[in-house]
Chain A
């Protein structure tokens, strides 16, 4: 006890001497940016992805050709200075089609991922936060959703509703949310016992403030990785559907329905430029998105230190 008294009697210096030193206040956002830029692969992937976005959405600036305009005298031309990626079986510029096709593929990827993320976060947050019956109902629903083989369901739904951009987006977005729900629910469950959430409850804050202000920002790190997989997954699903001929119908170009040409053995062997270029674009885009997702996950994780 004597030692304790001594500690208490001692004149105590201020706890920290660095109050004046660190004048610049770094917001968590700025710190996240810093961490992201430390992730070299993610930075390169971001640059490549931005280039793909620019050339896709600004396609008319980069190619004079009409992606749907046929020119039968120019059929099956190998890459040359006039058609840098050659032409397809209807004489259309593969370069133009790849750029315009990127618009559709990226649009499908991003909007479908947005839909599935929105549903997934909403249901996951509700299940994790409220628990009990709400959790039970939502989780059984996701269990049922996850038993459906996605491709078969997509085939069925598209067969009923008919192919088309909106249908493809809705089908993909409406099928892949269970993974996001499970992820968000799991994160919420661990957070419910954490002290800052208990503190918020002890202060009598309304549920929605606790969910949106205290919980959701803290699931951003794993959610970012999940969103990137959702985007790349949706792009792949669209490519898969279009490859099977039930995605977005011709003549609108997408990377998927351009690769559909490869189903023809002649095209596969004799005119590889017709399918290699959209395939390479798909591959590079998906790799970029996954790397960016990795980078964002690390960036949003406050526990990651900048080395």
Chain B
């Protein structure tokens, strides 16, 4: 918690996907995948981004890395706005930020050996002379807990957990400061999930990494994150330290999410009062007016239809976007 330096600032980030129809590919509408979100990433800390599938978590991660260029907004990395850079200008910046994907079966090229996969970025960015590359690959594999003798193997010879370790090694090859972990453990077995999660935590300490940890499993995010942001339909509804959010959720959506998590202790499980949300996730093509959550919110009011609630501070680092807390705003 000693770090307070901002590594990445996301300001009013928007990513709309145009819907094109007809002979002349006229744009008839947009999918509002990410609609005006802002947050900061502090050096050496982990921000957990949670939300149900389709809420724009992954798109946010990809927009930050400029893999899907944002429609509007700023992505300030150490003060430099990445959103205005061309792909070519972005290239040198790519060394500083990497991504780990969800599916370790799809994220490794089946036709390259582990050594080729891990060494490729080092060679392309000319980070090391040729004769040192093999040692570096061995070092990276050791770092992620893989035997360096495995470097001549192909991905198909590895298990899911091992593959994910290879993708972590590949991400580390460029010595990045920021790693976007896009649901890095949801495709793995539960026992392997814990190993990979602990590996990520250990690497963060050893290499002073900053994580943007995207997941839909609240308890996992709580376990790894210092801060947490909850997304719903392209917007952030609540933000705070993960302890605060977990102990005392304020936004009705966060409360519903947390109540859905089963408790291991049978006595607590019995007491658990589950808030069941009605209806389906509205389409991001045609989001509800005002507050996006109002169609499913158990505490919806008239004002929710008209005015979109802003993300407002309600005391130390805590922010909520909900009209219920209009009065409690501390000035």
What residues of chain B lie closer than 8 Å to A16, measured between beta carbons? Answer: 158-159, 162
Interface string of A5-37 (1 = CB under 8 A from B): 001100010011001001001111001000000
* Set A2, A198, A201, A209: member contacting B265, Cβ < 8 A: A2
- Flag whether A147 is at the interface (Cβ < 8 A): no
Q: Chain A's nearest CB lies how many Å from the CB of B76?
A: 19
| Complex Cα–Cα for A8 and B152 (A) | 31
Contact in complex: B170, A199 (CB < 8 Å): yes
| Complex Cα–Cα for A113 and B38 (A) | 54
> 11 A-B pairs, CB-CB below 8 angstroms?
A1-B222, A8-B223, A15-B161, A26-B154, A28-B110, A202-B65, A204-B91, A204-B92, A204-B121, A213-B109, A217-B109
Chain B residue total in the interface (Cβ 8 A): 55
Contact in complex: B67, A7 (CB < 8 Å): no
Contact in complex: A1, B264 (CB < 8 Å): yes
Contact in complex: A204, B265 (CB < 8 Å): no
Binding site for A on B (CB under 8 A): 62, 65, 67, 90-92, 94-95, 97-99, 101-103, 106-112, 120-121, 124-125, 147, 149-150, 152-154, 156-159, 161-162, 167, 170, 173-174, 190-192, 194-195, 197-198, 219-220, 222-223, 263-265
* Set A25, A28, A194: member contacting B152, Cβ < 8 A: A25
Interface string of A175-204 (1 = CB under 8 A from B): 000000000000000000011101111111
Contact in complex: B157, A204 (CB < 8 Å): no
Contact in complex: A198, B101 (CB < 8 Å): yes
* Set A3, A12, A209, A302: member contacting B110, Cβ < 8 A: A302
What residues of chain B lie closer than 8 Å to A199, measured between beta carbons? Answer: 99, 101, 107, 167, 170
* Set A8, A203, A204, A214: member contacting B194, Cβ < 8 A: A8
Contact in complex: B147, A19 (CB < 8 Å): yes
| Complex Cα–Cα for A8 and B195 (A) | 8
| Complex Cα–Cα for A207 and B98 (A) | 18
Contact in complex: A19, B190 (CB < 8 Å): no
- Flag whether A206 is at the interface (Cβ < 8 A): yes
| Complex Cα–Cα for A205 and B122 (A) | 10
Binding site for B on A (CB under 8 A): 1-4, 7-8, 12, 15-16, 19, 22, 25-28, 31, 194-196, 198-206, 209, 213-214, 217-218, 302
> Given A204-B124, A205-B121 in contact, is the A12-B109 Cβ separation under 8 Å?
no
* Set A2, A8, A26, A202: member contacting B98, Cβ < 8 A: A202
Beyond the given pairs A26-B154, A199-B107, 13 more chain A to chain B contacts, judged by CB atoms under 8 angstroms and listed by A's residue number, are A3-B264, A7-B190, A7-B191, A7-B194, A15-B162, A25-B154, A27-B154, A199-B170, A203-B94, A204-B90, A204-B94, A217-B111, A218-B111
| Complex Cα–Cα for A19 and B114 (A) | 14
Contact in complex: B162, A198 (CB < 8 Å): no
| Complex Cα–Cα for A25 and B152 (A) | 8
Chain A residue nearest in CB terms to B65: A202
* Set A22, A196, A198: member contacting B108, Cβ < 8 A: A196
| Complex Cα–Cα for A27 and B190 (A) | 30
The list of the 9 closest CB pairs from A to B, nearest first, reads A204-B94, A3-B264, A195-B107, A195-B101, A203-B121, A204-B91, A7-B194, A195-B106, A217-B111
What residues of chain B lie closer than 8 Å to A8, measured between beta carbons? Answer: 194, 197-198, 223
Contact in complex: A28, B91 (CB < 8 Å): no
Chain B residue nearest in CB terms to A27: B154
Contact in complex: B94, A202 (CB < 8 Å): yes
> Given A28-B110, A214-B109 in contact, is the A198-B62 Cβ separation under 8 Å?
yes
Contact in complex: B162, A218 (CB < 8 Å): no
